[in-house]
């Protein structure tokens, strides 16, 4: 079971969740970097991921397509900014891959992993938003509940690896 950590945001346009996940860092990393695994946990059920395609490199494109229970799809294109294997992923919707501007930036996300001992992982996911309005919108969309559910689902999948 994930353990919540009380970590404060770095600034007023950042939302975050922090957990100790009961799975090894290598398994958590795989969940973030293997499309078939990502499809199993990345959105709160009963939503699903119908497509997960990405190139894990700075400037590499990312496309995650979410689907609601009625089958309506919501594409989320983006780009990786930083990839440090087993430690850190930074990605944004401000670019579409190879530094092509998206035309509408909502956030940049940073996911960090660290060994916590006993096969557990310190997991911090930060969402830095371009505007305070975007933060408010993300809160209304259910950031804390949704990203918390997703962290639990991530742990469930990582524990099977």
pLDDT value at 85 more than 90: yes
Angstrom distance (rounded) from CA 4 to CA 16: 11
pLDDT for position 34: 98
Tens-digit pLDDT profile for residues 90-112: 999 999 999 999 998 999 999 99
- pLDDT of 1 > 70? The answer is no
What is the rounded end-to-end Cα distance, in angstroms, of the chain?
Answer: 16
Does the pTM of the predicted model rise above 0.85?
yes
72 backbone dihedrals φ, ψ, rounded to 5°: -70, 130
Q: What is the pLDDT of residues 57-81, one digit of tens each?
A: 999 999 999 999 999 999 999 999 9
Q: What is the pLDDT of residues 128-147, one digit of tens each?
A: 999 999 999 999 999 999 99
**pLDDT tops 70 at residue 125:** yes
> How many CA atoms does the CB half-sphere of 6 hold within 13 Å?
0
The C-alpha atoms of residue 36 and residue 30 are separated, in whole angstroms, by: 10
User: According to the model, what pLDDT value does residue 4 have?
Assistant: 82
Q: How far is CA 17 from CA 44, 106, 153, in A?
A: 15, 18, 14
Ordered structural domains, the chain, with CATH: 3-158 (3.30.530.20)
């Amino acid at each position: 079971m994930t353990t919540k950590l009380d970590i404060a945001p770095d600034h007023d346009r950042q939302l975050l969740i922090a957990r100790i996940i009961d799975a090894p860092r290598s398994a958590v990393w795989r969940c973030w970097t293997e499309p078939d695994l990502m499809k199993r946990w990345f959105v709160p059920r009963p939503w699903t991921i119908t497509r997960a395609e990405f190139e894990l490199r700075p400037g590499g494109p990312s496309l995650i397509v979410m689907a609601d229970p009625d089958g309506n799809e919501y594409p989320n294109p983006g780009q990786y900014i930083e990839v440090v294997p087993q430690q850190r992923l930074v990605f944004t919707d401000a670019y579409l891959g190879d530094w092509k501007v998206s035309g509408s930036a909502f956030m940049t996300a940073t996911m960090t992993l660290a060994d916590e001992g006993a096969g557990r992982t310190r997991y911090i996911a930060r969402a830095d938003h371009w505007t305070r309005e975007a933060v408010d919108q993300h809160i209304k969309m259910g950031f804390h509940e949704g990203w918390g559910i997703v962290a639990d689902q991530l742990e469930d999948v990582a524990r099977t690896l």
